[in-house]
Amino acid sequence: MRIEETLQNSITNVLKQLYGIDAEVNTITLQKTKKEFTGDLTLVVFPFVKAARKSPEAVANEIGAAVAENCPAVASFNVIKGFLNFEINKNYWVDFVLQNADAEKYGFKTADSNQAPIVVEYSSPNTNKPLHLGHIRNNLLGWSVSELLKADGNNVKKVNLVNDRGIHICKSMLAWLKYGNGETPESSGMKGDHLVGKYYVLFDKHYKEQIKELVETKGIDEEEAAKTAPLMLEAQEMLRKWEAKDPEVYALWEKMNGWVYSGFDVTYKRLGIDFDKIYYESQTYLLGKETVMKGLQDGVLFRKEDGSVWADLTGDGLDQKLLLRKDGTSVYMTQDLGTAQLRQKDYNAEKLMYVVGNEQDYHFTVLKLILGKLGFEWGKKIHHLSYGMVELPNGKMKSREGTVVDADDLIDEMVATAEQTSKEKGRSDEGTDPQEQAHLYYILAMGALKYFILKVDPQKNMLFNPQESIDFNGNTGPFIQYTHARIRSIIRKSQEQLHVDLSQNPDTASVELNDKEREIVKILHDAPAIIDQAAQNYSPAMIANYVYDLAKSFNSFYQDTPILREENANVLKFRLKLCDFVAKVIKNMMGILGIEVPEKM
């Protein structure tokens, strides 16, 4: 039994015996004893002093004495004001290490693949432009939360919904037809998504020129000009043709989307993210339309005079929401009604999770409400994992102002920085395979980037300053990767030079724990609770902060405690076991973040 549980039980009994207090076991909360006091776990006794009718110190002393009496694992206790600090027997910690050090995934639960899955949608790109830093946060978060939920024992399915249809892609297509001269990714050497993005920008440029011209020559206002500019009319015409499945338009659409997909694939691969299933909006929006029509028939929705279809949410304190335009075409909400159903049908999910920015909070409130009105009970299972925006020092990224941080560029820069940093440290040792070297730079770069993004609480907006490249020192991914590499180096040497047999446990009689070791052991001991907590909060940031604490404590220990130079064979072996345990937990926790850890660096 874990020590917290043992103590909780004992304390519950003691409270009953001493004061007749009936406390639920799980209401007894123990906290970690602060560093400046001696002890491992602390009980705050203030909640019981009233019922006990004694001073906090007296209560703490009485409880402490009784618990120490009953629990062999308690080595001693001390009382400071109303705080009862228990010191746990060294044997408990030592045994804990030896019993768990060899576990491949300490603290991880295994998922039952038969249970209803949590379906996590993330990424959800538009196919008209390449991915940028905002998408990076979404992708890393969605992937990592999925892994986190798996680690906590859930069956998880990762899905992507590609927004492949609509006026935006028509704009790129039109511009390519007009100004592209048949340019392809092959002919230009450009990544497909960037090539298509280039024409999206080009459309906007020419479109703006047309508007300006219209305003100047015809004297109409800008709003009117925007609606009547020939390019816009052509784009809309193209969309109509697309919906009518005009063969030429359709073929072009497939060709250009194909370019984008292969471009995305490269970026996804570099980011290390993947999906179990990919949905395409072009294949789901019709179901949304049908659903709306049915809702209309059932009288849940209503039609306005102009023919548009709406949901009335005024009874829920919200507004009316458009679901079908007067010309019968669908909007964003319409297709989301379709995809949600399809997904529910495909997976019969326990939870439908959407990793989408907080700018769409309103959309998801409405989506759930409308699904409920349409009679879909499972609408309640939708959970919008809402995360904050990535901001630049001068505010939000704006594609029109050219302040977008491109995903591919950023990754390239990170890799270059990693290589440069590595060389400055004189770590580009000769003799190593260049491919291995390149892989190291890549995982360090991605480690820095991923950690930088994931360590921030998802809910909060975060700031990225392109001027100051992401750090490799301090509270960073590479710091943790470095710690891992150091440990692996020690383990290697213990095998190659000292031939220590780690498959046998040491005799623990002579093993004592110094403060640093005890600190590390306690952090390791927390791993299961941290995974649990992080999963409940959908927060990879909690994992990031945990693994940083662990690495930091290890480095402090490493600095002043000899490991390979330890002469007592049992102590040596115990320390190696502890090191190995730390390395594994670092590796596994970083794995949840999607960060690889190197054997050497």
Partner RNA sequence: GGUCUUGUAGCUCAGCUGGAUAGAGCAACUGCCUUCUAAGCAGUAGGUCCUGCGUUCGAAUCGCAGCAAGAUCACCA
User: In the beta sheet, which residues pair with residue 121?
Assistant: 159, 354
- Residue ranges with strand state E in 256-394: 277-280, 302-303, 309-312, 320-324, 351-357, 382-387, 390-392
The interface mask with RNA, positions 529-548, x = CB under 7 A, is ----x---x---xx--x--x
Footprint (CB under 7 A) of RNA, residues 16-75: 29, 31-34, 36-37, 39, 42, 44, 46-47
Q: Which is nearer to RNA, 180 or 478 (CB)?
A: 478
Q: Give CA–CA dist 451/597, Å, rounded.
A: 12
Question: Taking CB under 7 A as the criterion, which residues in 541-600 touch RNA?
Answer: 541-542, 545, 548, 552, 555-556, 558-565, 599-600
Q: Work out whether 243 is an interface residue with RNA (CB under 7 A).
A: no
What six digits make up the tokens of 167?
């006026």
Q: Is the dihedral of CA 299, 305, 309, 310 positive or negative?
A: negative
CB of 223 to RNA, least distance (A): 12
**Least distance in angstroms from the C-beta of 156 to RNA:** 22
What span, in angstroms and rounded, lies between the C-alpha atoms of 249 and 167?
A: 13
Residue 4: both structure tokens together: 């917290």
Is there binding between residue 457 and RNA (CB under 7 A)?
yes
CB closer to RNA out of 53 and 247: 53
Q: What is the per-residue DSSP string for 160-183?
A: EEEB--SHHHHHHHHHHHHH-TT-
Quick one: 190 or 318, whose CB is closer to RNA?
A: 318
Sites for RNA among residues 492-511 (CB under 7 A): 493
Among 66, 389, 392, 405, binds RNA (CB under 7 A): 389
Considering only residues 304 through 363, tell me which ones interact with RNA, judged by CB under 7 A.
Answer: 304, 306, 308, 319, 322, 325-327, 331-332, 358-363
Footprint on residues 85-104 left by RNA (CB under 7 A): 85
CA angle 47, 48, 51 (to 5 degrees): 125
CA dist list (Å): 526 to 8, 30, 62, 64, 523 = 16, 13, 28, 23, 5
Q: Is 377 a residue that touches RNA (CB under 7 A)?
A: no
489 near RNA, judged by CB under 7 A: yes
Dist CA 10 CA 2 (whole Å): 13
In terms of C-beta density within 10 A (0-12 exposed, 13-18 middle, 19 or more buried), how is residue 352 classed?
buried
486 binds RNA (CB under 7 A): yes
Q: Which is nearer to RNA, 60 or 117 (CB)?
A: 60
The residue written with tokens 């507004």 in the block is: 319
Tell which one of 18, 65, 66, 167 touches RNA (CB under 7 A).
167
Measured from the CB of residue 102, what is the shortest distance to RNA in angstroms? 21
Please state the closest distance from residue 300 (CB atom) to RNA, in A.
19
Residues whose CB is less than 8 angstroms from the CB of residue 512 and which lie 6 or more positions away in sequence, other chains included:
90, 571
Bridge partners, residue 387, by sequence: 357
Could you tell me which stretch among 4-12, 79-87, 134-142, 431-439 binds RNA (CB under 7 A)?
79-87
Q: Distance between CA atoms of 252 and 229, rounded to whole angstroms?
A: 23
Q: Which CB, 117 or 592, lies closer to RNA?
A: 592
Query: Which of 70, 283, 475, 570 touches RNA by CB under 7 A?
Result: 475
Q: In the range 252-281, which residues lie near RNA by CB under 7 A?
A: 281
- Of 473, 499, 503, 567, the one binding RNA (CB under 7 A) is 473
